[in-house]
Structure 1
Amino acid sequence: MAIKTPGGARSLTFRVLLLASLWSAVALVVIALVISTLYRRSAEASFQDLLRAQLYNVINSVSTDENFQLTGSPQLGDLRFSQPQTGWYWIVEPIGDNFPSEPMSSTSLGYGSIPIPDTETIPFDTRYERYYTTEDTFGNKVEVVETEVVLDQEGRTARFRIVGNRNVLEDDIRAFSRNLYLALAGFGFGSLCLNAIAILIGLRPLDHVRKSLEQIRAGQAERLAGIFPREIQPLASEVNALIDSNRRIIERARMQVGNLAHSLKTPIAVLLNEARVLLPPHSELVRTQAEAMQGQVQSYLNRARIAAQRESVLARTEAAPVLQRLARVMRRLNADIEFPVTIEPEDLMVAMEQQDMEEVVGNLLENAARYARSTVTIRAILAPDDQTDADAQRRRWVVVEVEDDGPGLEPDQIQEALKRGHRLDESKPGTGLGLSIVREITSEYQGTLTLARGSMGGLLARLVLPAVAKDVA
């Protein structure tokens, strides 16, 4: 007997943590990409500035001699320009037939070469410089800065190039990005932990409200008690006001039920007394109808009282004392019949009024005692937890079984037995209202009554009633 919640349970804490975590993750990824991109741009600009500075250093160090040959010894202060195959080179090439000098280059280039794109593919900029990326003969990815300079009054021109190893730049960017990602990952993990702690602490009052409501439902408290934050205090006040209003409605309904029962009690008693002095068959007719009216009135009064009580969260009865007391009464009334009682667990709590539980179980015991030969068993157990029930902690069920060793009923007879006023055995005393009253009261508590043939051969009546957890976590 379970009530399913569409979509499953929803956790506010989980949703807030999920949204905060997603937002933090997205923000950190965006920040990492932005910083990494900005650093790459800055590093590339600094790399080009370094190459330009080295280029003009070479330009200032090279000139022509009286034989129109290139001369000079650039000192760039960087050993990579003198070590072979490093990817750091400087090159000076004469341009034109009027400048028959041999090219000059750094010792690091050796016999290597640099592929040069034509000026149509990569033209010079407004400062008469051009930048391009290529690969030297040693497999190094290099960045080239190139310009042309007039060296003397005769217009002899030379092309100057500074080549830098771009792998060094890429390695630096990768190292920075790796450290950045590690730092942001550590910061993000710490932020998520702090956010989780802050959210859990911030939502703790809601958890306190939930536990207080469960305590009210379990009968351990009657109001939401405690000091709540300003945002939650109106909710707590409204819940307390609703509980007070509900309690007043129940009390008023009980008073009205009592008044109605008292006002009808005397007229029905008068009718029953008058039936005794009437002559048959009128006396039997009046008596039968008065008893039926008494049963109907009592049934509808019970339904009205239960309907008012059902809206309350305070109805609860401990099963063991009620069942043990009913068994003792039945033993005194039926000395030749045994009434063994089994209750698991012993502190089983049923979410219904004690009077209603006594009435439904009492009716079943009376019915079983009429047909039992020697034994009527009473069992009360807590039904297994239904994992599909989203509200399983508060929707547990108690199964109460009353079984006798009598003749039992056939399936078609079971349907007739549950109809109001129907009696299958006219030789036995009764009004035929017992089982229908049990079913009506049980259904008002959202429970069920089923009849079947038991293991002892007699009738097995099974009640499924709402349970209340004795301890609320």
Structure 2
Amino acid sequence: MRSNSLTARVLLLASAWSALALVVIAVVISTLYRQGVERSFTDLLRAQLYNVINSITVSNENTLAGSPQLGDLRFSQPDTGWYWVVEPLGNFQTAPLVSSSLGVSTLPVPSILDVPFDNRYERYYVVTDEAKNRVQVAETEVVLDGEGRAARFRVTGNLNVVEDDVSDFSNSLYLALAVFGVGSLVVNGLAILYSLRPLDRARLALGKIRGGEAERLEGEFPSEIQPLATEVNALIESNRRLVERARMQVGNLAHSLKTPIAVLLNEARTLDSHHGDLVRGQVEAMQAQVQSYLSRARIAAQRGSILARVEAEPALERLVRVMRRLNPEKTFELDMQQPGMILAMEQQDLEEAVGNLLENAARFAVTKVVITVMRGSHPSSDPDVTRRSWVTLLVEDDGPGLEPEQITEAMKRGRRLDESRPGTGLGLSIVSEVVSEYHGTFAMSRGPLGGLKAELLLPGLSKELA
């Protein structure tokens, strides 16, 4: 499962590697320590074995004699697993000697075929005594005198000593490695977060550009990120040049069409009323159509720009003031439910879309038109769209309103439901086109005032960018 967070990826990989490395280190060190303890244990038994050998002789009565002093009280305490035994071999018939810790108990002895002697004529094996202790046995056979009398010497040690020693060491080792591992993870996490801070600075710098607070990525970045910052700045500059070129071309086209259309309108006034009205209406429709397509071209040219932004309240206040002067007999109210909202679009596009709606509302309203602006959400399932900030703008009037089938008809380009009133029938179509170019939505329905309610969903800037 892949994570989209660089921090999470690096932390996960570093944590996994550290955990694996610490486990391997713990196993290796514990194994090496066990091997060392076992070698030391075997060396101790060998030393004690030869101590017993040096302490035992054949007496004048042809018996085994001697009292080994091994300097360990466990050889004198019963059932401790620490024993020594001397047994006569061959024709040497005498009683064996045993440590007081073994008493009358016996130790099982494997055959020489199962556990042979090594090149030092010693053999080591593990057995379980009658007290259920696992003991390691060091054994050898020695000729005691010139007459060839020999004995078998065995010294045992309790393997619990090895296990307890290894267990204590392993517990201390695991605790130390755990503390070291946790500390390493904390240090790694802090180092990773510190190392990725330049990316956060780059993100904030991009946010300032998108919010209109800066025009390029400013600041010093590490050598790994600086090429990216350079390319982003070059992309922004290229985007700015494209937008300016598109705007200039649109302006030139508008200027070149303005004079011919004005000439046609003037010529239409010289014709008789029937033909003049017909030509004038068609020229006005052509003018509106040209303006509509020019707006669409301009929007398409700058839609990808990250510098498009407009403060909603001042722009809408200007539109409301104009409408109040043009319609003094009607009331226009502006309700900004969240002050300081900023839209990610050009001011001209906002004024064109909302201006058309206000003109329609003023044309059919009885006494009142209300504009409401609030935060909204996009109905799309595309995460790239829903992740953005959206603003809902409502334009409502107290006029007669429209039925659903009339709304559908009014949304068609060039259709007018009331031929007695002036207009080209392109206003709502222009609004729809402007909004769709910004990936927003436009819908109409009957509002709470009784008249028509137009609802626009427009792209906004998030609070941190606004």
Shorter-chain-normalised TM-score: which range? over 0.9
Q: Which amino acid aligns with 1:405?
A: D
| 2:401 pairs with 1:408 | yes
Q: Give the conservation status (yes or no) of the 8 Å contact 1:397–1:464.
A: yes
Q: Give the conservation status (yes or no) of the 8 Å contact 2:337–2:374.
A: yes
What's the CA shift string for 1:427-453, capped at 9, x where partnerless? 222111011101111111111111122
Q: What's 2:97 paired with? A: 104
Q: Which amino acid aligns with 1:105?
A: V
- Tell which deviates more after alignment, 326-335 or 38-47: 326-335
Q: What's 2:126 paired with? A: 133
| 2:342 pairs with 1:349 | yes
Q: 2:420 aligns with which of 423, 427, 447?
A: 427
Q: Give the conservation status (yes or no) of the 8 Å contact 2:107–2:130.
A: yes
Q: CA deviation at 1:366?
A: 1.1
| 2:66 pairs with 1:72 | yes
Q: What's 2:271 paired with? A: 278
**TM-score, normalisation: structure 1:** 0.93
Q: Which amino acid aligns with 2:84?
A: W
Q: CA deviation at 1:165?
A: 0.9
Q: Give the conservation status (yes or no) of the 8 Å contact 1:8–1:390.
A: no
Identity of aligned residues (%): 65
Q: Matched residues in 2 for 1:147 and 1:260: separation?
A: 112
What secondary structure does 1:339 align onto? Answer: strand
Q: Give the conservation status (yes or no) of the 8 Å contact 1:112–1:138.
A: no
Q: Give the conservation status (yes or no) of the 8 Å contact 2:75–2:100.
A: yes
| 2:21 pairs with 1:12 | no
Instruction: Kindly tell me the number of residue pairs found equivalent between the two proteins.
Output: 466
What's the CA shift string for 1:332-387, capped at 9, x where partnerless? 2223322221112110110011111011111111112222222221111112699x
Q: Which amino acid aligns with 1:69?
A: T
**Kindly tell me: are residues 460 and 256 of structure 1, through their superposed partners in 2, closer, same or farther at Cα, counting changes over 3 Å?**
same
| 2:47 pairs with 1:53 | yes
| 2:353 pairs with 1:364 | no
Q: Which amino acid aligns with 1:87?
A: G
Q: Which amino acid aligns with 2:146?
A: Q
Q: CA deviation at 1:284?
A: 2.8
**TM-score, normalisation: structure 2:** 0.95
Q: CA deviation at 1:153?
A: 3.0
Q: CA deviation at 1:280?
A: 4.7
**Kindly tell me: are residues 466 and 234 of structure 1, through their superposed partners in 2, closer, same or farther at Cα, counting changes over 3 Å?**
same
Q: Matched residues in 1 for 2:95 and 2:30: separation?
A: 44
Q: Which amino acid aligns with 2:452?
A: L
Q: Matched residues in 1 for 2:155 and 2:384: separation?
A: 75
Could you list the runs of 5+ residues in structure 2 that have no partner in the other structure?
none
Q: Which amino acid aligns with 2:81?
A: G
| 2:201 pairs with 1:215 | no
Q: Give the conservation status (yes or no) of the 8 Å contact 1:82–1:108.
A: yes
Q: Give the conservation status (yes or no) of the 8 Å contact 1:394–1:469.
A: no
Q: What's 1:119 paired with? A: 112
Instruction: Name the Cα RMSD after superposition.
Output: 2.2
What secondary structure does 1:29 align onto? Answer: helix
What's the CA shift string for 1:398-422, capped at 9, x where partnerless? 0101112222222222222111101
Q: Give the conservation status (yes or no) of the 8 Å contact 2:388–2:462.
A: no
**Kindly tell me: are residues 211 and 392 of structure 1, through their superposed partners in 2, closer, same or farther at Cα, counting changes over 3 Å?**
farther
Q: Give the conservation status (yes or no) of the 8 Å contact 2:57–2:65.
A: yes
Q: Give the conservation status (yes or no) of the 8 Å contact 2:378–2:457.
A: no
**Kindly tell me: are residues 392 and 186 of structure 1, through their superposed partners in 2, closer, same or farther at Cα, counting changes over 3 Å?**
farther
Q: What's 2:297 paired with? A: 304
Q: What's 1:3 paired with? A: none
Q: What's 1:92 paired with? A: 86
| 2:199 pairs with 1:206 | yes
**Kindly tell me: are residues 230 and 393 of structure 1, through their superposed partners in 2, closer, same or farther at Cα, counting changes over 3 Å?**
farther
Q: CA deviation at 1:455?
A: 2.2
Q: What's 2:77 paired with? A: 83
Q: Matched residues in 2 for 1:402 and 1:272: separation?
A: 33
Q: 1:44 aligns with which of 26, 38, 41?
A: 38
Q: CA deviation at 1:22?
A: 1.3
Q: Matched residues in 2 for 1:431 and 1:350: separation?
A: 28
Q: Matched residues in 1 for 2:314 and 2:3: separation?
A: 36
Q: Give the conservation status (yes or no) of the 8 Å contact 1:218–1:470.
A: no
**Kindly tell me: are residues 453 and 180 of structure 1, through their superposed partners in 2, closer, same or farther at Cα, counting changes over 3 Å?**
same
Q: What's 2:319 paired with? A: 326
Q: Give the conservation status (yes or no) of the 8 Å contact 2:377–2:386.
A: no
Q: Matched residues in 1 for 2:217 and 2:459: separation?
A: 23
Q: CA deviation at 1:471?
A: 3.1
